Amino acid sequence: MASSSAPTIPQLKQAFLFRQITLLSQPLAPSRTWQAANDASDAPLPERAVDDALFTLNHSVTQHCRRVYAPQATRNISEQIDNVYAKEAERRFDTGLDDEVEGALGRDVDLTDHSTIEALPEAWISDKDITDYPMEAKRYADNVQRLAELDQQRKKLRDQVDRLKRLQAVVKPLETEDSGVGLQENLLTRGGPVEKELERMRILLARVGGRVNMLPEAEESGPPNVQVTSSESLQQARKRRVDEFLADNKVFPS
């Protein structure tokens, strides 16, 4: 069976006032002692006269309770009592009178602060309240756990923002404009000027290699015929000439 939620201070005070008003509005009736004394009297009051007087009195009491103790009036009184409690709590919090209460939370506690969230108890500190209002206690524990999870997520986001700001500060010298559009032209980037120039050089090298292959063969006394067909063959020829130069005894005598 689900437990009812914890009543508020206005609800408690309004229920108390309602019980007192109910007692005051109960119809009056003569006690047995008075009836015995009236019957034993030499001049007893007539029963009809007593009943008429009680009827008139009870009617006046009922009308008085309805006018003076109306539901609106009791609600206003209970709200005033709640305001008194709230002002007293604020006064005690401002003056530090509740600092000695372990686990007490003030009305103005900043639940967005990291240190405050870490200091929150995981469960209600009152075992009696946990027993009397288990649903409220569970809701409090769930809210504290959720608050701690959100605080951890916020911490991760702050760390990520700080890391991105440091990265932005590192790459800021590479900006060419105040708006940060583009990088320096001498940097190798996809689709940048350097890549386009390399593409043009590759095409030009292929054309030159094709034209060289179309040249007539040189005479035997002439220099050796070197056919260039691609950039790879040019690199191999260049490497061969470097190796021959390093192996020449005239240049580097042993």
Asked if pLDDT for residue 250 goes beyond 70, the answer is: no
What's the pLDDT at 176?
Answer: 64
Q: Is the pTM of this model over 0.75?
A: no
- Report whether 83 contacts 75 (CB < 8 A): no
Of 227 and 123, the structure prediction assigns the larger pLDDT to 123
Amino acid of residue 90 = E
Average pLDDT over residues 227-235: 61
13 CB-contact burial (10 Å; exposed 0-12 / middle 13-18 / buried 19+):
buried
> How far apart (Å, rounded) are the C-alpha atoms in residues 9 and 80?
10
Half-sphere exposure of 8 (CA within 13 A, CB side): 10
pLDDT in tens, 157-215: 999 999 999 998 887 777 666 554 555 555 666 777 777 888 888 888 877 777 666 66
> How far apart (Å, rounded) are the C-alpha atoms in residues 81 and 10?
7
pLDDT in tens, 14-48: 888 888 888 888 888 888 898 888 888 888 888 88
- Report whether 69 contacts 17 (CB < 8 A): yes
